[in-house]
Chain A
Amino acid sequence: MLRLDGVRWSEGDFNLSADWSADAGERIAVIGPSGAGKSTLLALIAGFLAPRAGRITWQGRDLGPLAPGDRPISILFQDQNLFAHLTLAQNLGFGLSPNLRLRPDDNAKIDAALARVGLAGLGARKPGQLSGGQQSRAALARALLRARPILLLDEPFAALGPALKSEMLTLVREVADTTGALTLLVTHDQADAHQFARRTILVDAGHACAPRDTEALFANPPPALRNYLGT
């Protein structure tokens, strides 16, 4: 279980608080207006920011002392998910070994992961030779290899068209099911939440609310969400 226990973050006028928990293997959407703190919430969990107060635990273990790379977490950013000067195989290799010292059978694992996301045989390509959708697939394949129990997605598909994005969400579901990962997906699109997540976190006015049932939340939205959706 991922637990945010009285977590507070502030910088200048900006505040964010969160106090809730999520179960292993859950799929949760994070929705809210721009600048509300969706990315900040993920940065706190991933360890790029340290909470001013409160603590974040996974299965009862405090994540505070752990560096981002040592946390039980994989994260996909909006961009720069791949090293542009390395091949796809090398980029995926970091999912198996952070110093890229690969064992003989690792190459087979990399090839299998590439095949799994529909990039079979493209291991020698560099990210610049791929489309945006293919780059997202490669980053997901690395998350597949890293196989951490928490997967954070910070709008990695925002630049893709609707059909492609829907395809990617299906792929994320498959990856999450394979690794059994608790998945948090930041989005500003209601449809993503419906398609992907049983529960949804609303981030607004400096507060990341506890996850609520997605259908119930949108059927009877609180005023903040109603303003955001414009309904």
Chain B
Amino acid sequence: MAHRPFPLAAVAVAALLGVLTLGTLGVVLAQAGGGGLTAADWAALRFTLWQAVLSALVSTVLAVPVARALARRRFAGRGALIALLGAPFLLPVIVAVLGLLAVFGRAGIVNQALAALGLPSVSIYGLHGVVLAHVFLNLPLAVRLILHGWQTIPAERLRLASALGFGPGATWRHLEVPMLRAVLPGAALAIFSICLTSFAVALTLGGGPRATTVELAIYQALRFDFDLPRAASLAALQFALCSAGVAMAGWLTVAAGFGAGLDRTAVPLAPAGWRTALDVAAITLATAFVATPLLAVVLRGAPGLIELPGQVWAAAGRSVLVALASCALATSGALTLALARGWRGFELGAMLPLAASSLVLGTGLFLMLAPWISPPHAALPVTVLVNAALSLPFAFRILLPEARTIDADYGRLIAALGLGGAARLRWVTLPRLMRPLGFALGVTAALSMGDLGVIALFAADTGATLPLLVQRLMGAYRMETAAAAALLLVALSFALFLSFDHWGQRHAAT
């Protein structure tokens, strides 16, 4: 039973990931040797931690009433709403920012309303803007994680509660609080880790000495100051930060955010009266908070779609190519590692990229490549590689449970019939993995399509990907064109995700 398919390939993938993450870290540390951290760098560290803590706390606290309402109410469109909560995970960050600007920006809906009432306007820039964007992006994730927690309360426990005549208060104390105590720390920590590597949000809504994340500081040191040692020191700091975040998150394991079930037969107690109004309000407000900025992008972008400049189409083409290449790399790498279980090193290798960030990998590769090749020339290949590495852990987590099921169900039969590696892959593994493979390809393609990170470090004025172009258009205050390009970006991201996912489902073995 020691036989495993493609262990050599798995060793190669794990080694490549090791070189990409630890190798770049080595290059970065060697460069960082002399450069100490300045006061500004410490400020960036403090800001990074503080915004991540605030974003995690606000997201999880606000998610509790929404998740509870979704857990105990049944209404038309509930399933669709829960499915939609998975969408922001795939939403390009720059599009989210654009939508939030349309609602909360200087000329946005909120400020227009305030002005009409004669009240002073609010600014979206700075700490609260960064936190607002992070809550917008992560509240749905928090709701799904917490909803999953609610659904894990056993039906028998709920039946017992109603048999004993528990009111909402007693249910809260005896069932819901213990569940939340188990679920909330993991959910908060997951969001905290995500926000540690925030780049696009900080780039657009933060900036300046008081709202710069470490990730953004790396970019500025490299791109504007050409201060390689300082960029390297910051990258080393960021790597330490992410590793600590991953280590803590691994210690407090959380269920995957997109796996939450939709319906179970047991519907928890649904108290009537003012609590109904509370639940309706929670669901309505959360939906409005997530949907309004997206609608704003659609409304502002749609008119510009017909006369998009050529550079937008060129950037879109580049982005699609990058997404296709990196989703193929990430998913095949993840599949190789998922099939080669048995040695813990493979699993660790698959999770290694979580300890790095786009800009850390970018800085390392920049330092490695700069003596040999001009960065703009390497921009697209590097982006493909970095995006593939950073999305590989997600693909791995999607594929691993199903790969384990195949082993549990058919491992002995495969051995008894003497199926070799290739026959096993062709006749059993691939047919049975089609559904999660399609999903993994879709997720990694959409993540890569929307990514705005390492490309900003490498690209010249020409040769931008679509997210970078949207950011540049925003920077040039060409908001109509930016919104139209953003709309195209969302459409392409979700089209990629849906076609891969659909392909997987259509070819899934039944």
State in angstroms the CA–CA spacing of A60 and B113 once bound together: 92
* A94 at the binding interface (Cβ < 8 Å): yes
Instruction: List residues of chain B with CB within 8 A of the CB of A80.
Output: 409-410, 412-413
A48 touches B412 (CB 8 A): yes
Q: Is B419 an interface residue (CB 8 A)?
A: yes
Quick one: which of B412, B422, B428 has the most chain A CB within 10 A?
B412
For chain B, residues 397 to 432, give those with C-beta under 8 angstroms from any C-beta of chain A. 409-410, 412-413, 415-420, 422-423, 427-428, 431-432
Q: How does the 8 Å CB contact mask read for A106-144 relative to B, with 1 for contact and 0 for none?
A: 000000000000000000001010000000000000000
* Nearest-CB residue, chain A, relative to B510: A85
Flag if B427 contacts A83 (CB, 8 Å). yes
In the complex, chain B residues whose CB is within 8 Å of the CB of A126: 510
Q: How far is the CB of A192 from chain B (nearest CB, A)?
A: 22
- Cβ contact within 8 Å between A48 and B415: yes
Across the two chains, which residue of chain A brings its CB closest to B422?
A99
Whether A81 pairs with B420 at a CB distance below 8 angstroms is no
Is A99 a contact partner of B419 (Cβ separation < 8 A)? yes
Contacts of A94 in B (CB 8 A): 417, 419
Give bound CA distance, A84 to B316, whole Å: 42
Interface string of B497-510 (1 = CB under 8 A from A): 00000000000011
Chain A residues, CB < 8 A from B428: 83
The answer to whether A98 and B420 touch across the interface, beta carbons within 8 angstroms, is: yes
Q: How far is the CA of A73 from the CA of B431 in the complex (A)?
A: 27
Residue of A nearest to B409 (CB): A80
Instruction: Pick from A80, A83, A90 the residue with the most CB of B within 10 Å.
Output: A83
Cβ of A100 and Cβ of B427 under 8 Å apart? yes
Which B residue sits closest to A95, measured CB to CB? B417
B344 within 8 A of A: no
On chain B, the residues within 8 Å of A83 by CB distance are 410, 413, 427-428
Q: In the bound complex, how far is the Cα of B418 from the Cα of A48, in angstroms?
A: 12
Known: A83-B428, A126-B510. A77 touches B415 (CB 8 A): no
Cβ-based interface call for A69 (8 A): yes
A69 to B3: give the CA distance in the assembly, Å: 12
Given A77-B412, A80-B409, A99-B422, A69–B417 Cβ distance below 8 Å?
A: yes
Q: Which residues of B contact A67 (CB under 8 A)?
A: 3, 415, 418
Distance between B418 CB and nearest chain A CB, rounded to angstroms? 2
Q: Which residues of A lie under 8 Å from residue B416 when comparing CB positions?
A: 46, 68-69, 73-75
Nearest-CB distance from A110 to chain B (Å)? 15
Expressed in whole angstroms, the minimum distance between the Cβ of A155 and any Cβ of chain B is 14
Cβ distance A44 to chain B, nearest Cβ, rounded Å: 13
**A98 touching B417 by the CB < 8 A rule?**
yes
B1 on the interface (CB 8 Å rule)? yes
Contact with A along B92-112 (1 / 0, CB 8 A): 000000000000000000000
A102 interfacial by beta-carbon distance below 8 Å: no
Min CB gap A227→B, angstroms: 31
Q: What's the least CB distance linking A48 to chain B, in Å?
A: 6
- Separation of A43 and B413 alpha carbons in the complex (Å): 12
Say whether A174 faces chain B, with CB atoms less than 8 Å apart: no
Among residues of A, the one whose C-beta sits closest to the C-beta of B1 is: A48
Give complex CA distance A139, B432 in Å. Answer: 20
Contact with B along A65-93 (1 / 0, CB 8 A): 00111100111010011011110001000
- For residues 30 through 49 of chain A, which have their beta carbon under 8 Å from a beta carbon of chain B? 46-48
Which of A48, A84, A85, A98 has a CB less than 8 Å from the CB of B419?
Answer: A98
Are B418 and A70 in contact (CB-based, < 8 A)?
Answer: yes
B113: shortest Cβ distance to chain A, in Å?
56
Set of chain B residues within 8 Å of A77, measured between Cβ atoms: 412-413
Q: Are A99 and B417 in contact (CB under 8 A)?
A: no
In the complex, what residues of A have CB within 8 A of residue B412's CB? 48, 68, 77, 80
A85: which of B3, B423, B431 is its contact (CB, 8 Å)?
A: B431
A114–B510 alpha-carbon span in the complex (Å): 22
B509 — which chain A residues lie within 8 A by C-beta? 84-86
Q: How far is the CB of B428 from chain A (nearest CB, A)?
A: 6
Q: How far is the CA of A164 from the CA of B44 in the complex (A)?
A: 74
Q: Give Cα A109 to B432, complex, Å.
A: 27
Instruction: With a 10 A CB-CB cut-off, give which of A68, A77, A80, A126 has the most chain B CB atoms.
Output: A68
Contact A69 B1, beta carbon cutoff 8 Å: no
Whether B420 and A99, one on each chain, are in contact in the complex, defined by CB atoms closer than 8 angstroms, is yes
CB distance from A135 to the nearest CB of B (A): 13
Give the distance in Å from the alpha carbon of A202 to the alpha carbon of B427 in the complex: 39
A7 to B500, CA, bound (A): 52
Complex contact A98–B409 (CB within 8 A): no
Contact B419 A81 (CB under 8 A): no
User: Beyond the given A69-B417, A85-B509, could you list 10 further A-B residue pairs with CB under 8 A, ordered by the A residue number?
Assistant: A48-B415, A68-B418, A69-B418, A77-B412, A80-B413, A84-B509, A85-B510, A95-B417, A99-B423, A126-B510
6 CB-based A-B contacts, threshold 8 Å: A68-B412, A69-B415, A69-B416, A85-B510, A98-B423, A126-B510
